Amino acid sequence: MCYSPEADLIAGLVVGAVGVDAMRHVDDRRDLALAAIPLVLAMHQFIEAVAWWGLQGRVPEDVGEVAVGVYLVIALAIVPVLVPYAVWRAEPSRTRRAAMFPFVVLGVCVAAVMLGSMASNPYEATIGGRFIAYDVGAPEGGALAALYALSICTTLILSSHRKIVILGVLNVVAFTLLSWLLNEGVISLWCIWAAVWSVLIAQHLREVSREHSATASAVRSYSPSGSG
């Protein structure tokens, strides 16, 4: 979510490029879901640009409505499942994976409630200045938002990877600040945070890739064939 369609497009291009780089450094299938997060966020930004244009009358109304619906499905149903699952999937520690799992399940439950609300209530989107105001008519929306943040932030913080933990801590601060700015009707800067997310994930995967390469080189150097 960003403050203009142009900002969404720029953010989408930047985040998409970072996502491609993240995918290039995947050496283990367990990291694939994590590397996919920036690409999903990039697609999210592009879709919201179309939603902006629909609300501004720059594309057919039906196209804009579809964009709003797809945007909400990604934000409310895919992200709260994908992020906890990706972090859980990439976690090497069995103990930490066990601690994360309840929050993965929590993300699935939040997504299910959000999808059910979208299916049973008409969702709306209006331009509120420097942001788009979305409304899915979810019951206890504040509680759901808290559970949404809990499932994502806790899973990140429980990780054994330093960059992922940093992302989790920063996410608590960013979620609080950006939600306040949006609720006060000031501005939406979630697209900037999506870029930060993507960079940290790409850096983490680069480090993991270097560690895998170093380990493989060490194994080759100590193997009978490598020792000559």
Annotate the chain with three-state secondary structure: CCCCHHHHHHHHHHHHHHHHHHHHCCCCHHHHHHHHHHHHHHHHHHHHHHHHHHHCCCCCHHHHHHHHHHHHHHHHHHHHHHHHHHHHHHCCCHHHHHHHHHHHHHHHHHHHHHHHHHHHCCCEEEECCCCEEEECCCCCHHHHHHHHHHHHHHHHHCCCCHHHHHHHHHHHHHHHHHHHHHHCCCCCCHHHHHHHHHHHHHHHHHHHHHHHHHHHHHHHHHCCCCCC
* Mean pLDDT in residue range 196-203: 92
Compare 179 and 59 and report the one with higher pLDDT. 59
Tokens of 58: 């720059």
**What amino acid is encoded at 67 in this protein?**
A
* Mean pLDDT in residue range 141-150: 86
Compare 182 and 46 and report the one with higher pLDDT. 46
Residue 178 pLDDT exceeds 70: yes
Strand-pair partners of 135:
124
Q: How many residues does the chain have?
A: 228
* Mean pLDDT in residue range 36-48: 95
Give the HSE-up count for residue 17: Cα atoms under 13 Å, Cβ half-sphere: 6
Tokens of 129: 């200045």
Which band of pLDDT confidence, cut at 50, 70 and 90, is reported for residue 216?
low
Least confident segment among 17-21, 28-32, 142-146: 142-146
Query: Tell me, what's the pLDDT at 215?
Result: 59
Query: Tell me, what's the pLDDT at 66?
Result: 95
Distance between CA atoms of residues 59 and 14, nearest Å: 24
Distance between CA atoms of residues 146 and 138, nearest Å: 13
* Mean pLDDT in residue range 205-226: 68
Residue 179 pLDDT exceeds 50: yes
Query: Tell me, what's the pLDDT at 228?
Result: 45
- pTM for this one? 0.88
**What amino acid is encoded at 209 in this protein?**
S
Residue 201 pLDDT exceeds 70: yes
* Whole-Å CA distances, 156 to 69, 115, 150: 28, 24, 10
Which band of pLDDT confidence, cut at 50, 70 and 90, is reported for residue 123?
confident
- Mean pLDDT over the full length of the chain: 88
Contacts of 78 (CB under 8 A, 6+ apart): 40, 111
Query: Tell me, what's the pLDDT at 212?
Result: 67
Least confident segment among 72-76, 91-95, 120-124: 120-124
Distance between CA atoms of residues 90 and 88, nearest Å: 6
Residue 9 pLDDT exceeds 50: yes
CATH class of 5-217: mainly alpha
